[in-house]
Amino acid sequence: QLQASGGGSVQPGGSVRLSCARSGFTEEHYAIGWFRQAPGKEREGVSCISSSIGDAYTYYGDSVKGRFTISRDNVKNTVYLQMLSLKAEDTAVYYCAAGVFYDYNWCSVVENNYAHWGQGTQVTVSS
C-alpha cells in the first residue's frame, strides 16, 4: 500500500513537500516514482528514485529539474518530493507509485514499470 500526502494550496514561488509512505510490501527493492496529472492533461512522470541503498539513482523531468528534489528514508519506508519555486503549471494531482526494476540502481518514469499506485494528493499553485 502507498499513501501519498502533503499536498495543499500554495502561492507561486512557494514550496511543498510530498510524502509517499509504503507499507505491506514483501519485496524490499522498490523504486518509487512521482507522477502528476493536471486538469485536462495526460499524466506525466515527474521524478523517480531507485531502490538501491545509499547513493540512489534519481531522475527528474525537464519541467521540474532544479526545483524538485526526491529522497527516501528507508527506515521510515517513505519517499519525499520536495518542491520549490512552485509555478501555476505545477498544479496537479500528484501520485506516487512503486515498481521493481531489474537494475536496483535505476528507475524511469514509464508508467508501465509501476505496479502499485497511491491515491494521489492535490497540489494547487495559485495567487
Condensed to tens digits (0 to 9), the pLDDT of residues 37-61 reads: 999 999 999 999 998 877 899 999 9
Question: Is residue 114 a contact partner of residue 99, using CB atoms and an 8 Å limit?
Answer: yes
- Give the rounded distance of the alpha carbon of 13 from its chain centre: 19
Residue 6: pLDDT band with limits 50, 70, 90: very high
What is each CA distance from 126 to 40, 92, 96, in whole angstroms?
17, 12, 23
Q: Grid coordinates in use for 70?
A: 526526491
**pLDDT of res. 1:** 87
pLDDT at position 121 over 70: yes
**pLDDT of res. 26:** 64
**pLDDT of res. 87:** 97
pLDDT at position 24 over 90: no
pLDDT at position 30 over 80: yes
Give the length of the chain. Answer: 127
Condensed to tens digits (0 to 9), the pLDDT of residues 63-120 reads: 999 999 999 998 888 999 999 999 999 999 999 999 988 888 899 999 999 999 999 9
- Give the containing element (helix H, strand E) for 37: strand 31-37
Mean of pLDDT values over 17-34:
87
- 105: Cβ contacts below 8 Å, ≥ 6 apart: 50, 52, 56, 57
